[in-house]
Each structure stands twice: as structure tokens, then as C-alpha cells.
Structure 1
Amino acid sequence: MDGSDTRVEAEQATDGGFVDLEDEFGAPQQEVNDPFAGYNRAMTGFNDWVFLWLLNPVAKGWRAVVPEGGRTAVFRFFKNLLYPLRLVNNLLQAKLGGAVEETGRFAVNSTIGILGLFDPAQAWFGWEAHDEDFGQTLGVWGVGSGPHIVLPFLGPSNLRDTFALAPDWSLDPITYYAKGYPQQIGIWTFKSVNATSLDIGGYESLKKDAVDFYPFLRDVYEQNRKKKIEE
């Protein structure tokens, strides 16, 4: 896989994160249900501090000692593990083509791709990942987003997507392979550090461009989720 392939995958490392936000920057504004604006703004400030002073420095250190190819392979491994989540939600949304392609990707990448460290399914056959989660499934079923909520450490969300976290976590193999909550949190933290290391500077760039960071993140998150549900 050449350098351009690695860069493309690196830019996809924060699903629903900085890359998606940048894609939506400047999109038409829509009214957001935000009755908890005071709390949400405060929690955004807390998450901003955690990112800038904890997550980002660790991610920079990780980037300094591990080559980009290795970090991208780690990202692919974790993405491959989430096959059950993508499969079930593609099926629940009646996206049978996506479910079939996801199954083919998992079979090829888990074997030829060495447990998902490489992505021959995309490189050789053009099979793309079909990222679907239970929040999107509920949206397809007609469930409204509800009020906007900023979650500690996890960032922007809404009532529907917050409710969907439990089903999504139940389809994450880490939930079952890890021995207890501390190990689960450790693995998820490492996964986040690795993903962040592939997009160093993206968050700061967004923050610099935003006049008021909280409503910017809020509006773009809701627009992005709406777009994914409608696709």
C-alpha cells in the first residue's frame, strides 16, 4: 500500500470526528434543540481541556515513537474488530449490499490482511467500509435526535445517539474480550490516542476557525449525523 493510501486511511481515523466536521464546515445552519446549552458549553470546555492537556500530548508522543504505517495498521485492526456493529446496523437498516460487502471485507482483511492490520479488501477489490451505528439506525427508523447533549470525554451527542451507545458497545468485541471495566477503558483510551495521532493539528485548526467553538461543534455534529442518516 503506497503513501497516498496510508494518508487516506489516516484521514479517516476519527470517524465522526475532525474530518467529518471539516467536511460539514460552512454547511447551511439548522435549528438545534439545545435546552441544556449552559451545561453543554461547560462540558465542551472540560473536554477541550482534556484533549489539549492530556490526549493530544500523549498522541504526539505516540506519533514520535511509532511510524505512521504502524499507527495506521493499529487503526485498521480496531476498525476491523467493529465488523459486528457495522453488519448488524446495515441489516437493521435493510442495507443488504452494505452487509454483504462488510462481510467480504471482514473475511479478506481478517485473513489476507492479517487480522485487519492491512486492507486488501479495499486495495484489491474496492470494497469500502459501510459505517453504520445504532444511532443512525434509530434515525432511519424515524426516531428524532432529541436535545443536544455533550458527553464527558466522548464529546457532542444527542439524546437518540446517547441512548444508542449501549447497543453499540454491546456489539464491540472489546466489551467481551477485556477483563473488566478498567481494561475496557484502557483499550478504548489507547484506541483514541492512536486515532488522534493520525490527525494531529486537526482539532486546533477547527478551533482556530470557529468564532464560538461550542455552537460550531454542536451545529456541525447535528448536520453531520443528519447527513449520515439520509445517505
Structure 2
Amino acid sequence: MVGDIPFEPVLEIVGVGVGAMSGALAAVRKQFDVFGIFVLGWAAGLGGGLLRDVLIGAVPPVGISDWRLIVTALVGALVMYFFHPRLQRARRFIVVLDAGALAVFTVVGTVKGLEYGTTAVAAVIVGVITGAGGGVLRDLLTGEVPVVLHDRQLYAVPALLGAAATTGLWIAGRPTPLVLSAVVLGVFALRVLSLRFRLHAPGPWRGRP
């Protein structure tokens, strides 16, 4: 909680909804049945949070205990179940949803790790895992190589920078909701701009030509 405002829970609910929509839309593109769509929506929306809570010792993990987040994930999947005819061909829409989930979960995961008393380094790692975890589970369940590991896309880098910025702001003094929102927007913008301008991480070093 930032100050007296329950900011992180609200932000986490937003992230779960966005992530679930991304997962459900990916399931639709793979022609999953209704059960598969809901499972993938749940996994993409809550997978990163599950991994985070296991790592920091938060029991039970919110992904299986917080009814608000579970309902949010199911509603996000339900939206995609009914509206997919307009969206299933829009690959860019999945990418935008995924970028939004990455940004939100990175900040939320980092803050929760810090609230549980982790070190700064551990908080950054937890933030990155929270941000990328749902997308990794989504890709694995749809038979895809996780985007964080291939195509040299700037996926983990925005999460790493966002987690580091959040940790730095926390150490300097508990950040306000406005400041955290700015970090979320920064991570989102960096991810989207890296796709727009085809910015890539370096590939394997092949020696001097």
C-alpha cells in the first residue's frame, strides 16, 4: 500500500484483467475450447503473481486465494470469448495487452517484494519474474517459445528497468501512486516503442568478422 491509498491492489486488478485478456485471445487464435480459453486467461493473468508469492513466501498465493483477482481473470477471459471475432486477427492487440500487463505486473511485483522485506536485488528479480511470468506461461501453454527468450525482443529489459526504478524510488522514500503510475507508463512505452522501431537485444557474439 502506497501511503494511505490501496494503490497496489487496484493496479494488480488492472494487470490481471489485461493479462487475462491477452492469454484468452492467444487461446482463441490457437482454437482452444471454452475451458482452454478460461485456463489460459487465468494462467496469463495470475501466473506471474503466483510465482512472485511463492518466491517471497506470501501464502496462500493471491492467484488461488484472492477472489477479486480470480473473478477479474475470468471476466477478462469471458470478454475475449464473446468479442474475439473482432479481435482474433489483431496480433498487435495481443502485443499491446501483453505490454500493458508486463508494465503493471513489474511495478506491482517489485513493490510487493519490498513490502515483504526483500533486499533491493531480490525485489528487482521478483519484479521481472512477476512482469514476465504470465506471458511465459501463456506462450508455453500455446506451444510457443516464450517471447522473453527469442527474437531478441526488448521484453525483459523494460521490466528490469522498471523494477530497478521502482526499487530506487522506494529506497529514496515510499513513492506516491502518481510516481508509480509514471513508472508503469514508462515500462509500457519502452516495450511498445521497441516493437515499433524494431529495437533488439544483442544476439550471440560471433567473433570479429
- Bin for the TM-score computed over the shorter chain: 0.3 to 0.5
What TM-score do you get using the length of structure 1 for normalisation?
0.30
Compare relative contact order (CA 8 Å, sep 6+) and give the higher one, 1 or 2. Answer: 1
- Say which structure is richer in helix: 2
Higher CA-based Rg = 1
What TM-score do you get using the length of structure 2 for normalisation?
0.32
